[in-house]
């Protein structure tokens, strides 16, 4: 048995098509909440599944000086608390020696020189060169500093052009508007090639989101109907029961539109509406997403018929408990004009979707936590059953549930058994947990693994981020100029403001609330 197999026997059954070279992963923001709740558990579960590289080294990087042993102890506690699988001490003991911590300032070049020296020392001890993966899990204000310092000390260009070239993972937000997104991209491209950059949106790692491509392009019954001739409209909902909690200070500078719609929800729209890619190659898929974003018409900001509704929650009942309104939350100023809810109406200017509205909404303190895509089809031509009240008919609707109950539901109309001719809607449902079991990999497991093996399919390209901001920046500028004017309200625990119903009602549509 090789030295690697002796040190990491649980990593020897690597999937042949998913293997990555010897890798050193550096997490900037190692003491942060994302690292504790998602990143460390994801790495542990990749190890359990034999999907980490045979040689894997982890370095946590943060401002606070922490000895290696203390960082290892903290890592054990966080994995034990947040992993989807029970902590396994035998597995941990085999990787413990390759877990380290490096302290330093994100804006301090000397700290990055020290990081480089630490990596070189670990490589020398291992007797082989590592693929370097830098995960930036910090507040966005230091993104540029970290990227610049990685470039300045030569870590960004390490092994460039080989299978061990450096990669960098960047968490959202990718700017806060078009100009800041361009500024961030300019910093990135000064030090990294685009192929080295993995802008992460964890929604793209969810199983049901990935299944969109299979649902559309591997089932002949759907793709021929996936166009303006058969689709009446599309609704995308990302609803949360929770309020802002302890994130008030951050959230008030962001709001629902920046926090959820511009990134997560636009990814769902792009995958739902894009043209078929020429192949499953990551760049081919990302090309089609960019084309789709470019085809979206500018949002109408006309006061008489706008394509948007914004609102914030007021005091109400959630799960039977009374909860405060947004401006009563911690760290929220009384005169805040930040929206906790936004609904939008998009029109896509291409042959496939001309005339088909795409509705999108996201909000906090809503009636239920749910993320879904609902494709509603047009009624049958002729209306054979329309003239008789005995026929209870519903539109055919395909609903892709992304969370919390992952699966797909198709609504059809069926005859009710009996001598009297009656009909009623029925649902055909598929649930991931029922078919495949409940132990589904977390999104971050898939995305970290994809980065290590060099698969960029589920990551966001620089031009994609900019084209999304082109759509949203005029809207955000309009709201900034308007202040609180036009800001609607809705009671916590509801499905949002009445104005959002009018947004759909003007086209003869209604939000899909009752069926959720």
Say whether 204-380+461-505 and 3-171 share the same fold.
Answer: no
Nearest alpha carbon to residue 202 among 170, 237, 167: 170
What phi-psi label fits residue 140: left (phi over 0), alpha (psi between -120 and 50 degrees) or beta? alpha
pLDDT tens for each residue of 137-193: 999 999 999 999 999 999 999 999 998 999 999 998 899 999 999 999 999 999 999
* CATH class of the domain comprising 204-380+461-505: alpha beta
Supply the mean pLDDT for the chain.
90
User: If pLDDT is split at 50, 70 and 90, which confidence band does 436 have?
Assistant: confident
Asked if 264 is an active-site residue, the reply is: yes
For domain 3-171, say whether CATH 3.40.1010.20 is its number: no
User: If pLDDT is split at 50, 70 and 90, which confidence band does 491 have?
Assistant: very high
What is the domain partition of the chain in residue ranges? 3-171, 204-380+461-505
> Model-level pTM?
0.91
CA distance 111 to 125: 21
Nearest alpha carbon to residue 400 among 412, 409, 389: 409
Backbone angles phi, psi at 137, to 5 degrees: -115, 60
Q: Which residues pair with 425 in a beta bridge?
A: 413
User: If pLDDT is split at 50, 70 and 90, which confidence band does 66 have?
Assistant: very high
Residue 135: pLDDT above 90? yes
CA distance 448 to 124: 25
Residue 101 has a pLDDT of 97
Residue 381 has a pLDDT of 72
User: If pLDDT is split at 50, 70 and 90, which confidence band does 203 have?
Assistant: confident
Which DSSP category does 369 fall into?
-
pLDDT tens for each residue of 404-420: 888 999 988 887 787 77
pLDDT tens for each residue of 247-302: 888 899 999 999 999 999 999 999 999 999 999 898 999 999 999 999 999 999 98
Q: Which of 8, 202, 233, 264 is catalytic?
A: 264
User: If pLDDT is split at 50, 70 and 90, which confidence band does 10 have?
Assistant: very low
Q: Which residues pair with 238 in a beta bridge?
A: 362, 371
Nearest alpha carbon to residue 285 among 161, 470, 453, 464: 464
């Amino acid at each position: 048995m090789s030295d690697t197999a002796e040190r990491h026997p649980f990593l020897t059954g690597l999937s042949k098509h998913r293997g990555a070279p010897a890798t050193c992963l550096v997490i900037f923001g190692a003491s942060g909440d994302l690292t504790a709740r998602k990143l460390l558990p994801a790495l542990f579960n990749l190890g359990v599944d034999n999907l980490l590289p045979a040689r894997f080294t982890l370095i946590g990087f943060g401002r606070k000086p922490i000895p290696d042993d203390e960082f290892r102890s903290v890592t054990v506690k966080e994995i034990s608390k947040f992993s989807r699988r029970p902590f396994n001490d035998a597995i941990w003991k085999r990787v413990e020696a390759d877990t380290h911590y490096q302290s330093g300032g994100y804006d301090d070049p000397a700290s990055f020189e020290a990081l480089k020296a630490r990596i070189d020392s670990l490589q020398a001890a291992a007797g082989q060169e590592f693929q370097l993966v830098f995960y930036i899990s910090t507040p966005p204000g230091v993104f540029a500093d970290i990227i610049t310092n990685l470039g300045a000390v030569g870590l960004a260009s390490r092994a460039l052009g080989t299978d061990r070239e450096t990669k960098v993972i960047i968490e959202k937000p990718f700017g806060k508007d078009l100009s800041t997104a361009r500024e961030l991209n300019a910093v990135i491209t000064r030090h990294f090639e685009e192929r080295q950059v993995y802008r992460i949106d964890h929604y793209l790692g969810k199983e049901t989101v990935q299944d969109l491509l299979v649902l559309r392009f591997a089932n002949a019954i759907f793709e021929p109907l996936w166009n303006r001739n058969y689709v009446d409209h599309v609704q995308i909902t990302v609803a949360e029961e929770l309020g802002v909690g302890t994130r008030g200070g951050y959230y008030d500078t962001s709001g629902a539109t920046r926090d959820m719609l511009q990134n997560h929800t636009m990814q769902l729209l792009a995958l739902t509406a894009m043209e078929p890619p020429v192949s499953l190659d990551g760049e081919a898929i990302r090309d089609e997403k960019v084309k789709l974003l470019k085809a979206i018409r500018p949002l109408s900001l006309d006061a008489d018929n706008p394509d948007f509704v914004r609102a914030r929650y007021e005091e109400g009942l959630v799960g039977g408990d009374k909860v405060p309104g947004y401006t009563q939350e911690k760290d929220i100023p009384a005169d805040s004009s930040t929206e906790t809810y936004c609904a939008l109406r998009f029109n896509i200017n291409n042959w496939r979707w001309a005339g088909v509205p795409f509705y999108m909404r996201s909000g906090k303190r809503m009636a239920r936590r749910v993320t879904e895509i609902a494709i509603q089809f047009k009624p049958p031509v002729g209306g054979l059953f329309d003239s008789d009240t005995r026929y209870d008919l519903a539109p055919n609707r395909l609903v892709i549930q992304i969370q919390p109950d992952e699966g797909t539901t198709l609504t059809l109309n069926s005859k009710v058994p009996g001598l009297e001719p009656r009909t009623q809607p029925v649902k055909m449902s598929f649930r991931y947990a029922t078919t495949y079991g409940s132990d589904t990999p977390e999104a971050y497991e898939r995305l970290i693994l994809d980065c290590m093996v060099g698969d960029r399919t589920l990551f966001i390209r620089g031009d994609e981020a900019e084209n999304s901001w082109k759509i949203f920046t005029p809207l955000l500028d309009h709201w900034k100029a308007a202040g609180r004017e036009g800001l609607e309200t809705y009671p916590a625990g509801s499905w949002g403001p009445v104005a959002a119903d009018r947004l759909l009602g003007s086209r003869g549509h209604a939000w899909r609330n009752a069926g959720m």
